Structure 1
C-alpha cells in the first residue's frame, strides 16, 4: 500500500473520532475510542456493558486495527477483555458480526461498528456463533449462561458481582496445576459442575 492510501484511511479515522467525541448518544451509551497519536490506524475502544444484561456494570476494552484500505475494508476488532458471549471467542476475543465481514459498506463508520457491538452484547445471535461452547450453553442452559456471563463480567471487566463459590472452585482446580483461565473456562463449560470440569481439564 502506498503512503497516500494509508494517509486517506488515517484522515478518515481522525474525522470519525472527532465526530464520536462530540456525539451525545455515544457518550450516553458509554462507548469510547482512545487514539494513538503515533499511529491513527491502531486504536483502543471501550464499551460499557449494556444495562439489563449479564454484562451490565462491566467495561470491555477492544483492539481496533484500521486497514490501509479503510473505509473500503472493515476495521479488525477483537475484545481484549475476556467475555462469555456466543458471538465473541472466550479464548481470543475474536468477534463474529456481519458488518465486520461481508455486510460492511464504505458508508459505515467506527461509531456504527461500536454501537452495533454494544447491541450485539445485548442481543446475542447463538445460531451464528464465534464460540460454539458458549452458544450451546446459551441455547440449552440459558440460566447457566446468564450466571456465567455475569461472573466473567465481574472477574474480567470490573463488573459488580463475583460469585465466591465459583472462585473457590477455580482456586481448587488451580492447585492441581491448571491455569486460572483454563480452570474458569472448563468450569464455565461444565455449568459449574466441579467434577465434570475436572474431567474436562485432564482429558
Structure 2
C-alpha cells in the first residue's frame, strides 16, 4: 500500500502543473491528503476554492478513501454539517483501479451533476426535486461566495 501511495504522491506533484482545477497535497502522513478543488465553470460553484480531506484506509487501494469537504458547501450529495461526500465510487462502485486523483475528478464532476434522489443535504435535494433550480443555484452561489471565495494557497 505504501508503494501505491508513494507513486500517487509523485504523480500528484507532477500533475500540479497540468491540472489547475485539482491539487492534491500530502504533508508527512500518506494516509491524510488534502484536495484543493476549483468549482467547475458554469455551475454555482464557479470561482470557489474547495478543500476536501481524503483519509486513506490501511487496506487502500482495496478500500476506498473517506472524503469530506472541509469548506462548507450547499450540495445535495454533501452532508451539510460533516462534509461527507455521497458518491458511488467511494462506496459500492470502488475498485483498486481508482486513484486519489480520479476520486477528485469524480468529486468535481459531482459538483456539476448533483444527484437529488438520495441526498445527504435534504434542503438542497428538495430544491432540485421540486425543480427549483433557481433557488438551488442561489443558495449554492451564496455558500460559494461566503465560504469558498478565498484563493487557493500552495
User: TM-score, normalising length from structure 1?
Assistant: 0.70
**Structure-2 residue corresponding to 1:156:** 147
Alpha-carbon separation, structure 1, partners of 2:78 and 2:16: 27
**Structure-1 residue corresponding to 2:34:** 44
Task: Determine if contact 1:20/1:26 at 8 Å carries over to the other structure.
Answer: no
* The structure with more radius of gyration: 1
Instruction: Report the secondary structure of 1:22's partner residue.
Output: helix
The within-5 A match list for 1:113-132 is: 113-132=103-122
Alpha-carbon separation, structure 1, partners of 2:76 and 2:18: 24
Give the structure, 1 or 2, with the largest relative contact order (CA under 8 Å, sep 6 or more). 2
Task: Determine if contact 1:89/1:131 at 8 Å carries over to the other structure.
Answer: yes
Find 1:21's aligned residue among 13, 24, 38.
Answer: 13
- Per-residue deviation, 1:59: 0.3
Q: Does 1:59 align with 2:49?
A: yes
State the 4+ residue runs in structure 1 displaced beyond 6 angstroms: none
Find 2:4's aligned residue among 5, 8, 12.
Answer: 12
Alpha-carbon separation, structure 2, partners of 1:96 and 1:135: 12
Q: Give the count of matched residue pairs.
A: 150
Instruction: Report the secondary structure of 2:110's partner residue.
Output: helix
Deviations 1:38-84 (A, max 9, x none): x1101111110000000000000011100010000000010000000
Deviations 1:127-153 (A, max 9, x none): 122212210012222111101100100
Alpha-carbon separation, structure 1, partners of 2:18 and 2:93: 22
Instruction: Report the secondary structure of 2:46's partner residue.
Output: coil
Higher helix share: 1
User: TM-score, normalising length from structure 2?
Assistant: 0.91
- Per-residue deviation, 1:26: 5.7
Q: Does 1:80 align with 2:81?
A: no
Task: Determine if contact 1:32/1:45 at 8 Å carries over to the other structure.
Answer: yes
Any unmatched runs of 5+ in structure 1? Answer: 1-7, 160-203
Task: Classify 1:92/1:36 alpha carbon distance in 2 versus 1 (closer, same or farther; 3 Å).
Answer: same
Alpha-carbon separation, structure 2, partners of 1:85 and 1:26: 27
